[in-house]
Structures are given as structure tokens and as C-alpha cells.
Amino acid sequence: MASEPAPISFARGAPSLDIVDVDGLRAAADRAFQNDPAGTTAYGTSIGYVPLRTWIAEQHGVAPEQVIVTNGSMQADAFLFEALVEDGDTVVVEKPTYDRTLLSLRSRGADVRPVDLHEDGIDVAGVEALIADGVMPRLAHLIPNFQNPAGYTLSGDKRRALVALAAEHGITIFEDDPYVQLRFSGEPLPTMLSLDQADRVVYASSFSKTVCPGIRVGYLVGPEKLIARIAKLATNTYISPNMVAQSIVNEFVRADGGGAFERSVARVKDALQERAAALCAALARELPEARFVAPQGGYFLWVELPEGTDGDALFAAAAERGVQIVKGTDFLLEGGENAFRLAYSGVTVPQIEEGVARLADAVRSLGVAA
Amino acid sequence: MASEPAPISFARGAPSLDIVDVDGLRAAADRAFQNDPAGTTAYGTSIGYVPLRTWIAEQHGVAPEQVIVTNGSMQADAFLFEALVEDGDTVVVEKPTYDRTLLSLRSRGADVRPVDLHEDGIDVAGVEALIADGVMPRLAHLIPNFQNPAGYTLSGDKRRALVALAAEHGITIFEDDPYVQLRFSGEPLPTMLSLDQADRVVYASSFSKTVCPGIRVGYLVGPEKLIARIAKLATNTYISPNMVAQSIVNEFVRADGGGAFERSVARVKDALQERAAALCAALARELPEARFVAPQGGYFLWVELPEGTDGDALFAAAAERGVQIVKGTDFLLEGGENAFRLAYSGVTVPQIEEGVARLADAVRSLGVAA
């Protein structure tokens, strides 16, 4: 090619601007300062903006005291790990899982135990086998819906089995659920939080995917005592989270009795469904040797190429063609050389088609047999 | 009294709503979403919203690479302590100092060494004496302007002496300067950051006192390598800070070529000056035994009563009269029983006069001799 190809990024799990409701946000910001100038501009406390905390509690059918609203759900994870994970504690994670969770747990000195992730979620027998071997997890980190990086969803049966296992063995399940609102096919499944009768589940979610990432509002729902402990950690870390942002989110989700929020999320889901379909079709057409599972929601697709594919070489060959992907090895303690993650949230359908064509060209340049 | 007295709080270092420019904030929020919808709503990176980072760098005459914008300056402190303070490291603090800084340093296992604070700032000879005794501080935390809790300001001569001492002994000065813009009398003094030629000063400030606390935007300025290390910690903690809030602040400070911001801060300073004058006059009239120094800016006044005053009893007697103060002991590792902090930022002049009258009544109820 005479000129550099236009960059196409399948790398970052973030929405493209066209599926962010900027006008809705502008209007929500205006109402936030108008309707509650004191609450919006003052420090508040570490539990977050009270009306938003109440709204979240209502959504989950829990008491407000079970909720803390934070500066994004990564910060919520950090507080939770600080509260629960000591050096040497065993933590079960999915294999593969979110790279930042791996990093965060390892930096705390956790004994991280990845358990295979199947199309219907984590291998419950694998968790049971760990316990049978005398390795008792303190915590199990699970991304139940449209998992990052795999796009897979934990089945209802497995949710029930895991909640029972947690109750029996005193394991805390960290249900990390930022994509739950982005289901574009299939039926919604109950959260493990709602199935739990033994105070063994802590649930995290975020408005990054339904409002916008730059708003940095996430939250935890869990047992009241644990939330109170985390609120104390939060006070000592930052006094209080961003009240302006949380007040804007509160106005955004409550507008028109929730109808405006619902329509905004519906637009996001429609776009994601279209993008996921385009991506699956393009992969099937251009890269018939690729294995993947069509997702029912969310941002991500996990693609496996035949064993022996050199992931580092593929990453480089794709980058040479202006295409960014994330290496499978980033989501695993070992293995994953023949896999990669594609995020379809930030690319349009024409970019997807062009991007997959270039990616296929990159794969062929490695001499991988179909 | 037949009914409870209306509560008057001298406790929290926060502005009353009447000195927050809510209309300016509403307009800034509107422009943020309109002028830069992509930058405002996207994740961005951990160094913060780029145009605001640039503005801050310009204000301090440094390269943008020397600046990181965070979710409030407490979070900036937390990152800085994480980067620089190991278990057992010696850290010099002012005596008294901000209670949350003490807490944060002690929770990291620092060997905290309080050095007397005088009307013109920390006792430099006290720091030199520590060094002469072989106690080499890793870090010295100083609040140079209108100190919290004392309201005192570090003199120009002492600033120069401390910067020289830091360069000579390889001590890092943490110049914690959230109140600098709130000078209502006397001449501004150079920052230690601007005096430093040896990369020994890290400077922190915030928009909590000039825009509003609920916006939670603070920042650090320091050597490029240290800022890069802190940016990495920030990425691992929360990916990125609040872009919506930082974009709003950027629009707020840049409106009308900075003129609108200047007028807004001038209104805040006028109100604070009036409140400080009213507080000093009321104390002199109602509590002639109280010792204090009239502040040249900021939010706080440190009041000392005669030796032997029971601070806990005074706190309780004030609370019975609906008056909230903060005990002097909160700002010290030991001592301070006869002292307390008054914040005049959140109270109107009539509240100040009524509050000091009740406080004097509380003091008299203890039987303290004038």
C-alpha cells in the first residue's frame, strides 16, 4: 500500500461515541446542578450520592446500606480486594479472565487459581476439585454475563451450584457484572446476588457501559457489614467519590421514569447486536479456521486459531495492517498463544468488515494452515 | 431552652453553597459535553483530561509530563505515599497537621515525626535537629499556605531554607497546597516547587476549594519520572480518573480567558475574608482567653485555651449547644487537649456570631478561668 491503512482498533472495551447519549448526558448534567445544587457540589460521604445509592438498592431489591457507589468499578474491586484478600489467600478466577483483575490480585500477593471457562461459564467441577485437594478459596472472581475476554455467559444451573458451594464452604463470590444490561439475545438470568441466602456474594457493576466510561461510576452490593468496612477504606482513600458525576448519573437513569435510560440502553444494545453479528459473519467468511462462540451480549469475542499459531507474530502482523487486537496471553497466567480478544464495541460495521479482512490477511501472512 | 438550638458547624472544611458558583458550573458542564463530547465521555488515561493537565502545567510553568490529574487530592496523596513511603520510612509532618494525612501515613507504617508548627511555618531548626540526630526523613509533608488545621503560612525564608535542606539531604518535600488560591490578605509567596532546582519537591493542589468539593479534582506536579510511576499506579487502581468532572473543570477555569474563574475565586475570597474577620472579632469579644492567629487566607483557625482545659468536655458542651468543632487532639499524635479547630468556610457571619457566643457559653460551663 502506498499510504498507511486507517487504524482499526478491536483492542479497547469501550463504546464508540455514536452509541453514547451525549445529549441525554448534557440534559442530565443541567438537571443535576439545578435540582440538587447542594448535594451535587458538596463533599458528601464515601458511600456515594445518596439518591443514586437508593436507586441502585431498589434495582437489586436490597437495603441502601448494602450499596456503596465508587469512582468506577475498578476502584470498587480495589477496595474489595483490600478488604478481603491477604497475602497468600487463594482466589479462584476464570481462565481466561480480565487482565487487570489478574494484575490486581497478583500485586496483593494472592494465590491465584485459574479454573477453565466453558461456553456456559466456569467449570464448577474444577472448583470442587480444588476444594477436594484442600485448596480452600477465600474468594472466587466471576464475570457471569458476556465475560471479558471470552464473551461467554454463566448458566443458571451453574449460578445455583456456585452459590450453594460458596454457602457450604464459606467462600465469597465476587460477581463482577458490568455488562449485564447489554444482553441483546437470549433470556436474562438471575444474579448470584439474588440467589444467595448466606451473605456470600458481593456484586459489582458500573455505568461505564450504559452511560459512558468517562463518568467513572461503579458500585458494590454486598453484606451490610462488609460494605461498612469498605466505606471506611473509601473515606480514608478519597473522602468521597465524585458527587457531580454520580448526580448526573442519577438524573440520567431517573429521567422520564427510567424510560429515557431504557431507550438509551436499547440503542446501545441494538448497535452491539449489529456489530457482533457483523463480526461473527466476517470471521466465518474470512477466517474459517477461527473458533469462537457468538455472544448474547456485551463487548467481546474470544477467538482461537489452530494450535501452534504464534500470537506475538499475529499481533505484530495485524498492527502492521493498522489493526489492534489484544493477545490471549494477557488474560492468562500461562497459555493462550493461539488466542486473541476482539472488542466490537468501539468499531462500526464497515470498520469490522475491513478490519477482519486485514486480520485474515495477517493470519495468512504467518503461513497458518486452515 | 425549650427547643433544640439550630446546629452550627465549624467542623468541616467545606464551603457553604452560597460561595459555590453553581451557575458557572452548569454552564461549564454544558460546554464540556458540547465542545468535547468524545474526550469528556471516553475513558481517557490515568494522567487525566489532557486539556486540563495542560492548563495546570501552564499555571505552574512546567511540562505537562510533570502533571497528573486525580480524583481529588486525597487520592493524589494516597498514590504519592504508595510510591514513596515504605514501612518504617521516616516522614516529617507539621505539629499539628491534617488528621487524614496522619492516618494515611500511619496506616502505611511510616515513622511519623511531628515538628512544631509556628506562626511562620514549621520549625526548620527542628527538622535540622532530627537530621543531626541521624533520623533522615524520606519525605516532609508541609501545608504551606493557611495550614490545616492552624491557618498559619510558611514564610518565604523558611520555604527557601527547606528547599535547600531537601536538596542537601535528598529529602522529598510534599508541598500540599489546596488553599493557595484563597489568600485574602498579605502577599503571595513563591511555591517551594518553583524554588526547587533539585527535583526534590512534589506539589499537590485541588479544585475543591475554588470550584467545589463534589467535583473531586486534584493534581500532583513533580519530577517526570515520579509522575510516570504514579500514572502506572493510577492505571492499575482505576484505569482513569473522572473525565466528565475534569472536562467541566477545564471549561470552568478557561471560561472568558480565565476571567470568569478569577471573579468566582474573588467572590469566595471576599466571603472568607469577611467570615474570618467576624470569627476573630467574635472570639476576641466572647473568649478573651483564647489564643489564635488571624489567618491571611483559607478555611481554618486554630484556637488554644489555657492549659488544663478539657477538650473532650468542651467538645461535648459545644455539641450540647448545637455547635460542632474538631478537637485539637485529632491533629496530633499526642497533646492538643486545650486546642480546637474552627472552620469558617461553611458558616455565614450571623452563624459565626451565634456559634461563638454558644461556644463561649460552653467554655464557661467548664469553669475555665480567663
Kindly state whether residue B292 falls inside one of the protein's structural domains. yes
Count of domains forming chain B: 2
From chain B, the residues in CB contact with A214 under 8 A are 39-44, 240, 242-244, 247
Q: Is residue B97 part of a domain?
A: yes
Q: Are residues B319 and B215 in the same domain?
A: no
pLDDT at B350: 97
pLDDT in tens, A88-110: 999 999 999 999 999 999 999 99
CB atoms within 10 A of CB B18: 9
Does B22 sit within 8 Å of A33, measured CB to CB?
yes
Asked whether B155 and B189 are in contact (CB, 8 A), the reply is: yes
* B19, B20, B41, best to mutate vs chain A, most A CBs in 10 Å: B41
The answer, yes or no, to whether residue A370 has pLDDT greater than 50, is no
* pLDDT, chain A, mean: 96
What is the spatial distance between Cα B209 and Cα B212, in angstroms, rounded to a whole number? 6
Distances (CA, A) of A32 to A239, A359, B20: 21, 45, 14
Which residue carries 468524545 as its cell?
Answer: B38
Torsion angle (degrees, nearest 10) of CA A112, A115, A116, A121? -110
Query: Once rounded to an integer, what is the mean pLDDT over residues B325-332?
Result: 96
Spatial distance between the Cα atoms of A101 and A97, rounded to a whole number of angstroms: 8
**Which of A17, A41, A236 shows the shortest C-beta gap to B103?**
A236
3-class SS at B171?
A: coil
Peptide bond into A96 cis (omega under 30): yes
The reply to whether residue B14 touches residue A42, judged by beta carbons under 8 angstroms, is yes
Instruction: Identify whether residues A240 and A141 lie together within a single domain.
Output: yes
pLDDT above 60 for A369:
no
Q: Look up residue A245 and give its amino acid.
A: A
Same domain for B118 and B88? yes
Task: Read off the pLDDT of residues A39-51 as tens digits, 9 standing for 90 and up.
Answer: 999 999 999 999 9
Of B17, B44, B237, which is closest to A37 when you measure between CB atoms?
B17
| ipTM at complex level | 0.94
The answer to whether B303 and B295 have CB atoms below 8 angstroms apart is no
pLDDT of res. A202: 98
B63 and B14 in a single domain? The answer is no
What's the pLDDT at A367?
Answer: 78
pLDDT reading at B140 higher than 80:
yes
pLDDT of res. A24: 97
Residues B28-57 pLDDT 10s: 999 999 999 999 999 999 999 999 999 999
Cα(A269)–Cα(A271) distance, rounded to whole angstroms? 5
Say whether B26 and A38 touch across the interface (CB within 8 A): no
* B3 domain-assigned: no
| Chain A partners within 8 Å of B208 (Cβ) | 43
Q: Closest residue of B to A233, CA-based? A: B104
Q: Which residues of A touch B236 (CB under 8 A)?
A: 100, 103-104, 107
Which among B227, B256, B285 is the end of a domain? B256
The answer to the question of residue B244 being in a domain is yes
Q: Taking Cα atoms as reference points, which of B85, B89, B190, B98 lies closest to residue B143?
A: B98
| CATH number for position B13 | 3.90.1150.10
Report phi then psi at B291, rounded to 5: -105, 135
To the nearest whole Å, the CA of A54 is away from the closest chain B CA by: 18
| pLDDT tens track for A103-142 | 999 999 999 999 999 999 999 999 999 999 999 999 999 9
Backbone angles phi, psi at A46, to 5 degrees: -70, -15
Report residue B326: phi and psi, to 5°: -110, 130
Whether A313 and A193 share a structural domain: no
Same domain, A125 and A246: yes
Tell me which residue range forms the domain holding B209: 22-256
Distance from CA of B114 to the nearest CA of A (A): 20
Residue B230 CB: number of other CB atoms within 10 A?
Answer: 23
Which CATH number does the domain housing residue B129 bear?
3.40.640.10
pLDDT band at B4 (very low <50, low <70, confident <90, very high): confident
Q: Give A-chain residues touching B27 at CB under 8 angstroms.
A: none
Look at residue B232 and tell me if it is in a domain: yes
Residue B45: closest C-alpha in chain A: A214
Q: What is the pLDDT of residue B18?
A: 94
* CA dist., res. A370 & res. A288, Å (int): 7
Single out the residue of A50, A113, A98 nearest to residue A249, CA to CA.
A50
pLDDT in tens, B225-245: 999 999 999 999 999 999 999
Question: For the whole model, what pTM was predicted?
Answer: 0.95
Same domain, A14 and A142: no
Same domain? A270 vs A156: no
Q: Do B289 and B364 touch, CB atoms closer than 8 A?
A: no
pLDDT tens profile A202-233? 999 999 999 999 999 999 999 999 999 999 99
Name every chain B residue with its beta carbon within 8 A of the beta carbon of A37: 17, 20, 22
CA distances to A292, B90, B119, B127, B145 from B130, in Å? 65, 10, 21, 5, 24
Are B197 and B167 in contact, with CB atoms under 8 Å apart? yes
Q: Is residue A248 domain-shared with residue A265, that is, in the same domain?
A: no
Do B113 and B231 lie in one domain? The reply is: yes
Inter-chain contacts counted by CB atoms under 8 A, chains A and B:
156
Predicted pLDDT at B367: 78
Residue A184 Cα, gap to closest chain B Cα (Å): 23
Residue B41 lies in a domain: yes
Cell of A262: 431504557
Which among B256, B281, B314 is the end of a domain?
B256
Percent of chain A topping pLDDT 90: 97
What pLDDT is attached to residue B370? 43
**Cell numbers representing residue B95 in the block:** 505539629
- Do both B170 and B305 map to the same domain? no
* Mean pLDDT score, B93-116: 95
Dist CA B15 CA B227 (whole Å): 30
Going by pLDDT thresholds of 50, 70 and 90, the confidence category of residue B328 is: very high
CA distance A329 to A337: 6
Which chain A residues are within 8 Å of B38, Cβ to Cβ? 17
Using an 8 Å Cβ cutoff, are B95 and B115 in contact? yes
- The tens digit of pLDDT for each residue in B19-29 reads 999 999 999 99
Q: Are residues A184 and A280 in the same domain?
A: no
Per the domain annotation, does A63 fall within a domain?
yes
| A289 residue type, one letter | E
- What are the chain A neighbours of B77 within 8 Å (beta carbons)? none
In a domain, A70, yes or no: yes
Mean pLDDT of all residues in B106-124: 97
pLDDT band with cut points at 50, 70 and 90 for residue B346: very high
End of a domain among A215, A230, A257?
A257
- A299-319 per-position pLDDT tens digit: 999 999 999 999 999 999 999
Neighbours of B138 (CB within 10 A): 17
Residue whose C-alpha cell reads 461549564 in the numeric block: B28
